[in-house]
Each structure stands twice: as C-alpha cells, then as structure tokens.
Chains A and B, each alone.
Chain A
C-alpha cells in the first residue's frame, strides 16, 4: 500500500508566479489535510478536505491560497502570486475516516522556495 504521495518534492518559483502542489492520499483514504511548516517552526493547519468538499479552511490565508480535492485525481494546493513569505514546507496528510481517534498519515512534503 503506497503511502501519501506529494509532488513536486521541491519547487522554486519567482515572486508573482503561481505554485501548484499535489497530494495523492493513501489508498482508501478520503480525508486530506494540508499543513505549512515554516523554517524552525511547527506545523500549522491550513485546510481539511473531503472529496469535492472543503470541510474546514480556517487556517488558509484569505487571499491567494486555494485548495481542492476533486472526485478524481489528487488534492491540489494552489498559491497565486507567490511572495517570499510563502517559502516553507507544505505537508499533506490523509486519514481513512472523519474521526478524532485516527492518526494522520503524512506525505514527504513539498519544499517551496520563492526567489
């Protein structure tokens, strides 16, 4: 059973460009979470999605950031008009069910560098 897949692993963008980060959850998992980890900091929750639904986006910046998890295909975290402060590691996690007692399975992360 393959784990959570994220691509690309490393992404370099110039200021003003768009960044698209992809996440394929573990097989059988229908719940996806995105987190951001700034250098020397912990994980900050961004958004929680189910197939075709955004369940909780309370951690998403109000502008430039969006996320989706379509019926077919990976979940996408999209950052428009990137700025230097967006440079971070972005982690995706998945779980099989919506319940507080389940651990999350994390992907290896996408390291975004904005130049």
Chain B
C-alpha cells in the first residue's frame, strides 16, 4: 500500500521569507512524486514533479522541491514567499497503475 503524508495542516510565513511545505511518502518501488496547488474554488494546478535524476526539481512560479530517498520526503520550497502564493498545496504519489494518491493538503498563508 502507498501513502502520502503532509504533517502540517497550515503553514504561515511572512512575505519575502523562505517557505517549506512538507511531504513524506511510503511506497514499494520507485516513487513518482508531484506537487499541485489549488486556489479557492478552482481545480488543482500542476507545479512540479520528480521522476528520476536530480534530487532538486524546479517548477512553476519559482517553486522547487527536494527529493530525499533516505528520509522518504519530497518537501516543497521557495526562497522568497509572495502573498499570491497563499493557497492549498497537495503532494501526490503515482502508482504504475496510473492512480494518484494525494496528501490531505497544507494551507499556506503568506502575510505581507
């Protein structure tokens, strides 16, 4: 069985500060990991993914994520947060059957 955990329901940061949204996973076999963002009353938008190769993955809007196999983590990061980054963030794990397992989401609030 596979699972994704986002240990923080809420993350608050000040604008201009670095942000981290945490994600850990459990899967047998190779992990295929994704981050999505959801704005209010909207669908999810793809941010970035890790398939293989470099552990540091860069994505949209200045976000990046670091894959750490030993810690089974895939934390989302951004060096300098913007107020417009405030949204709900989901970490997801794909299986080779195509199904995605999503974490419960983390609400990021960036205060000016």
Residues of A within 8 A of B103 (CB): 42
Interface size on B, residues (CB 8 A): 24
B43, A108: Cβ atoms closer than 8 Å: yes
Q: How far is the CB of A56 from chain B (nearest CB, A)?
A: 6
A42, B104: Cβ atoms closer than 8 Å: yes
Q: How far is the CB of B67 from chain A (nearest CB, A)?
A: 14
Contact of B22 with A by CB under 8 A:
no
Contact of B94 with A by CB under 8 A:
yes
* Given contact pairs A4-B43, A106-B44, A41 touches B98 in the complex (Cβ within 8 A): no
A103, B34: Cβ atoms closer than 8 Å: yes
Which residue from chain A places its CB closest to the CB of B45 in the assembled complex? A106
* Contacts beyond the supplied A33-B98, A109-B43: 16 A-B pairs with Cβ under 8 Å: A41-B105, A43-B44, A43-B102, A44-B102, A45-B100, A48-B97, A48-B98, A55-B97, A91-B44, A93-B43, A100-B94, A100-B98, A101-B49, A106-B36, A107-B43, A109-B42
- Give the bracket for the number of chain A residues in contact with chain B: 20 to 34
Residues of B within 8 A of A48 (CB): 97-99
> How many angstroms between the C-alpha atoms of A43 and B96 in the bound complex?
19
Of all A-B residue pairs in the complex, the 4 with the closest CB atoms, nearest first, are A106-B43, A42-B104, A100-B94, A106-B44
Contact of A84 with B by CB under 8 A:
no
Q: How far is the CB of B68 from chain A (nearest CB, A)?
A: 19
A101, B105: Cβ atoms closer than 8 Å: no
Contact of A95 with B by CB under 8 A:
yes
Contact of A99 with B by CB under 8 A:
yes
